[in-house]
A and B are shown apart, each in its own frame.
Chain A
Amino acid sequence: MSDDRKALISLRNVKKVYRTRDTELEALGDVSFDVFPGEFVSVVGPSGCGKTTLLKILAGLLPHSSGEIVVESENFDIEREVGFVFQKPLLLHWRKVLDNVLLPIEILKINRKSMVGRARELLSLVGLDGFEDRYPNELSGGMQQRVSIARALIHDPKLLLMDEPFGALDAITRERLNMELLHIWEETKKTILFVTHGINEAVFLSDRVIVLTARPSRMAASLDIDLPRPRSQEVRTDPAFGRYALEIYKGLEIT
């Protein structure tokens, strides 16, 4: 990544302290990194190190305690152009699949009719043709998470925040969805910030991997992943793949 390009979003010494009545908990120690337009950046770190906290701060769902979050790119509206895929699918069980996908459109007060076609396209992009009129409780966990990905994309956000979206799924479904995700990323040219526990997953998907230490989290490493695109399973046999994974293990002090 050349540094003369403007970052879509830039975090500078972001800290987060959760205050409760009699305790303070430092969730994010000191985190600084940039995300450039079109990049696929992963964040890995142990459970409880503040990854969800970080994404929620970026999405404006939580205030940070100190530091700065700067939007450098002029044509990025962080209030409307973010898509969030939560750790759980969080579908509205009273809405059919298609209506779930259209929720952000209604919230942003965009004409709904004009977006129905797009919603169908996105559902087919995530492999859910023909499920438009089903209710969420008729879908498997993996299918629900795919609906939530389509929902996060419907308002054409520039930045997609994904919080361990496949964490609860079995390994096979997970690998499939990773391939689909790369496909979507290539097709839609989004910027993706992807939180995961999976070290191989992070290497496989990303342009860059941010490694966080345990709480209070600091950045242990920021690793450019220089592997060929488009990625296929063969890339896993690349010696460089193993070296990147090893670097992450070192950053996490698992040796």
Chain B
Amino acid sequence: MSLATLAPKLKTPAVILAILAIWQGAVGLFEIREFILPTPLSALEHLFLPQPDANYNWMVHIRATLLEIGLSFVITSVVGISIAIALAWSEASRKVSMPLFVFVNSLPIIAIAPILVLWSGYGLKTNILIAFLVSFFPVVINTLAGLAAIEEELLDLVKYLHGTKLQVFLKLRIPNSLPYIFTGLKICSTMCVVGAIVGEFIASDRGLGYIIINSQYTMDSPPIYAGLMLVSLFGVSLFGLVGLAERILMPWARRGVAEK
């Protein structure tokens, strides 16, 4: 890779580094007290403190959060896309259940989270449920829009050969909706992170959300910031993974400019 091709890829890391540097400098310059705003270095340093000195066993919490984010993203994607296909398949199902989904989505999930804890207890299950509830709607709505967005005339291609409704879905509607599905999944990827962290605030004894809320009680701010940095790193990575999958699964969309 030459410098010219490498340079654009380094832009984002460069911006992030610059922000961290300004942060680091500003804390020193204005003599901000650590419990208000620690320097990024002291936050990161906390991650590498040897075990008995650190307040938390980071690996355990990172693993818990990653598991929740990963599972809730996969479950929400599969369930959300399936719901959308079922809704698109039958108008009756759409009429009956669409209002229900809109209702669930308009609930302040964070406010009803305590009820969910009462119902399904403390821990992984509840956190995934919360993450699902805050993130499934964009998947359903986007997939549904994609399934409906087929050019009317394309349907004639299947119809004049007396193809089935299943063929219309498999050969036309679903592939046509891929860009919409990926848009939904991108939104879902960030919402799942929010959902998992909120779940950990409320219903968990581990995870980065737990660290953040717990360190707040003790006014120990470096682990809060370290946790936040990790959370955003996970969010950005998941978003990036979805983008990568999009590019791999939709090769027709990335042609053109580069090759011509």
Contacts and interface: CB of A to CB of B under 8 A. Distances in A.
A86 B167 contact: no
B162 A90 contact: no
Contacts of B250: 94
Contacts of A136: 252
Q: How large is the interface on A (under 10, 10 to 19, 20 to 34, 35 or more residues)?
A: 20 to 34
Contacts of B123: none
Contact of A86 (B156, B162, B163, B178): B156
A108 B162 CA distance: 8
Interface string A57-100: 00111000000000000000001101010101010111100000
Nearest to A58: B160
B171 A106 contact: yes
Contacts of B153: 86, 88, 90
B160 A92 contact: no
**Consensus secondary structure, chain B interface:** helix
A1 interface: no
A50 to B, nearest CB: 17
Contacts of B159: 60-61
Given A107-B163, A135-B255, A90 B157 contact: yes
B158 A107 contact: yes
A94 B173 CA distance: 11
B161 to A, nearest CB: 5
Nearest to A79: B162
A94 B160 contact: no
Interface in B170-197: 171-172, 175-176, 178
B154 interface: yes
A84 B172 contact: no
A94 B171 CA distance: 10
A111 to B, nearest CB: 16
A31 interface: no
B223 to A, nearest CB: 47
Nearest to A96: B252
A61 B162 CA distance: 9
A104 B178 contact: no
A103 interface: yes
B252 A107 contact: no
A80 B161 contact: yes
B172 to A, nearest CB: 7
Interface in A93-141: 93-95, 103-104, 106-108, 135-138
22 contacts: A56-B156, A59-B160, A60-B160, A60-B162, A79-B161, A79-B162, A82-B160, A84-B156, A84-B157, A88-B153, A90-B157, A93-B252, A94-B175, A95-B175, A103-B171, A104-B161, A106-B171, A107-B163, A108-B161, A136-B252, A138-B255, A138-B256
Interface of A: 56, 59-61, 79-80, 82, 84, 86, 88, 90, 92-95, 103-104, 106-108, 135-138, 155
| The 3 residue pairs across chains A and B that have the minimum distance between CB atoms | A107-B163, A59-B160, A135-B252
Interface of B: 151, 153-154, 156-163, 167, 171-172, 175-176, 178, 250-252, 255-256, 259
